[in-house]
Structure 1
Amino acid sequence: MMDIVRVRLKQGYRYFFVNLLMTLGVNKIQILKMTFPIFLRPKSSDLLVFHQIFTFKEYDMNLGFSPKFIIDAGANIGLAAVFFSNKFPEAKIMAIEPEKSNFEMLQKNTKEYKNVSLKKMALSNQFNFSFNVVDKGFGNWGFITEIQDSKRKINVIDTVKTITIDEIMIEYNLEYLDLLKIDIEGGEKQLFESNYENWLPKTKCIIIELHDGITNGSSKSFFKAISNYDFSYFNRGENLMFINNRI
C-alpha cells in the first residue's frame, strides 16, 4: 500500500486523480494549503466527503467575519474540522461525532491540530440522554442517532450520551457562538424542536444540511425555529448557510 501522495491539482483534475489514488490503495493525501495529511478509508463514503469539502469546496463560504469558536456537529472523520482549522487557524473547534469508527478516523485526522477538541457524543436539545447509534445502510457518512429504546435492537451498533449547545457555551464561557456546522443525519429535527431559545439568537452563522429523506420533518422543524429570528439565507451545494443579521 502506498503511504502518502501530495495533490496540487485544480478541481476537475483533483476529482479524478484522487479517485485513482484510492483505487491504488493510497490512504493518506497531502493537499495544497492543508497543514497536515488527510487519512481516508478505502471503499467507504470518505472519498465522497473529501470531494464535497476539498474538491467542490462546499464549506468555502464568505462569512463576512473570522469565527473564534466553531462547533462541528456530525464531524464524521474530521474533514470539515480540518478545513475550518486551516481556514481559521485562530479559531477553537469543537468536533462532535457519535459513531465509533468515524470517531477513530476523526482522532487520526485532527490529532496534529491543537485547536480542535473532540467529543464522542450526539448533539441534541436534551441534556444527558442516551442515544442509540443506528446503521440504516447509508454508509459511513449516514449513521443516525435515536433516543434509546429498550425495544429496538436491530441495527443498533453503539450507545452515546447527548450534549447540548447550551452546555458547550457554558463550558467555554461563550457569550455568542460564531459558527455552527450541522450535518447530523436527521437529528436536526429534534435539535430544533425545542430548547433553542437561548443559543439560536446568539449564533452568528449556521451551516446546515437537512435530511428529510432520513427523518421526515427535519426541514419543517429547522425553518420553524429559525424563522423566529433575523437570519439571511444562502445556498452552497447540499448546505444552507444562515447569517444572523442582529449580531
Structure 2
Amino acid sequence: MSVGTNYAVDLVQKIGLQPKTIFDVGANIGQTVDFYRNIYPKASIYSFEPIPKTFSKLQKYCSQKNGVHCFNIAFGETTESMDIEVVKDETSVTNSLSNEFQANLKKDSESYETVRIKVEMLDDFVKKNDIPQIDLLKIDTEGYEIAVLNGVEKLLASGKVSAIICEAGFMRSNSRNTYFGDINDLLEQHGYSLFGIYEMGHIGFIKARHYGNLLYISKDYRENKYKNWQIGY
C-alpha cells in the first residue's frame, strides 16, 4: 500500500507509531471513533465537540465505548466563551468558528441559530488534565485549524505531539478550508515535516476548492524513533 492511502495504517506500518493517546478535535457525532478504535484498540481517545446539540449525540454514541472521553469544548488561541452561529441540523459537519463561515451563515437567518460555546487553548487543557503526550492530534475544524494550532504551541515546541493530521485546501482562493501553505509554514517552524497527503477531495476542484488531509511527524519522533519503511532504517 503506497503512502497516501490510509494515514492510520501508515502510522503503524510505515512510521512505527502505535498511538496510545489520540485527540480528535472537531469530533462531530463520533464518525472517527470506530475508525480509530478498530486500528488502535488500546488507545485512549479524547473527542472534542463544541456545539451543544451535536455534542449530545457524540456523548450518547460514545457512552458505551471504553477508552473514549468526550468534552463539550472548542480549541483556539484564547480562553473564552463566545456566541456563534451554527447550522440548525445538529449532525452538520460544516459548522466552523472561522470568520468566513460565520459571515456566510449570517446572510441566511433561516438556516442558523446562535449558541454559546466554550473555547480553551489546547496547551492549557493538556496541562490541566495532566496528559504528558499526544501521539496523534487530528484537527478537522473547517477553516479554523490555524487558531487551534496557535493554542498548542508549547506542546509543538517541546515535541509532545508526535503526529498531526489536519484538513487543508490547496488554493488560497479556497476560503472554506485553511490554506496548505499556512499550515505547513506554522508546523515547519516547530520542526514538523509533511509525511503524506490523504483523502484528497475533488468535489470542488472546478472552482479550486479541493482539499485533503495532511499528516505531519514531529522532529523528535523522526530523529529518535522513526525507521525508514522502504530501506529499514
The alpha carbon displacement at 1:191 in A equals 2.4
1:203 is the counterpart of 2:161: yes
Aligned sequence identity (%) = 27
Match of 1:235 in 2: 197
Query: TM-score of the superposition, structure 1-length normalised?
Result: 0.65
The alpha carbon displacement at 1:156 in A equals 4.1
Question: What whole-Å deviation, never above 9, does each CA across 1:142-185 have from its counterpart, x for those lacking one?
Answer: 01125899xx7953431201122112211332332211000001
The alpha carbon displacement at 1:105 in A equals 2.4
The partner residue of 1:140 within 83, 86, 92 is 92
1:87 is the counterpart of 2:43: no
Q: Secondary structure at the match of 1:60?
A: helix
Match of 2:66 in 1: 114
Compare relative contact order (CA 8 Å, sep 6+) and give the higher one, 1 or 2: 2
The partner residue of 1:175 within 132, 142, 157 is 132
Question: What whole-Å deviation, never above 9, does each CA across 1:207-245 have from its counterpart, x for those lacking one?
Answer: 111256345754343222101133232111121111113
> Partners of 1:227 and 1:160 in 2: how far apart?
31
Match of 1:245 in 2: 219
Q: Secondary structure at the match of 1:142?
A: coil
- Equivalent position amino acid for 1:71 in 2: F
Residue-pair matches, total: 187
Match of 1:65 in 2: 17
The alpha carbon displacement at 1:61 in A equals 3.0
> Partners of 1:143 and 1:96 in 2: how far apart?
14
Change in Cα spacing, 1:190 to 1:131, as seen in structure 2 (3 Å) is farther
- Equivalent position amino acid for 1:77 in 2: I
Match of 1:130 in 2: 82
Change in Cα spacing, 1:120 to 1:185, as seen in structure 2 (3 Å) is same
Change in Cα spacing, 1:162 to 1:74, as seen in structure 2 (3 Å) is same
1:188 is the counterpart of 2:150: no
Structure 1 spans left out of the alignment, 5+ residues: 1-56
- Equivalent position amino acid for 1:190 in 2: A
- Equivalent position amino acid for 1:235 in 2: I
> Partners of 2:167 and 2:178 in 1: how far apart?
13
1:163 is the counterpart of 2:120: yes
> Partners of 1:88 and 1:216 in 2: how far apart?
28
CA RMSD of aligned residues (A): 2.9
Question: What whole-Å deviation, never above 9, does each CA across 1:71-123 have from its counterpart, x for those lacking one?
Answer: 10010110212221232222211101122343232123211112111112211
Structure 2 spans left out of the alignment, 5+ residues: 200-211, 222-233
> Partners of 2:176 and 2:146 in 1: how far apart?
7
- Equivalent position amino acid for 2:138 in 1: K
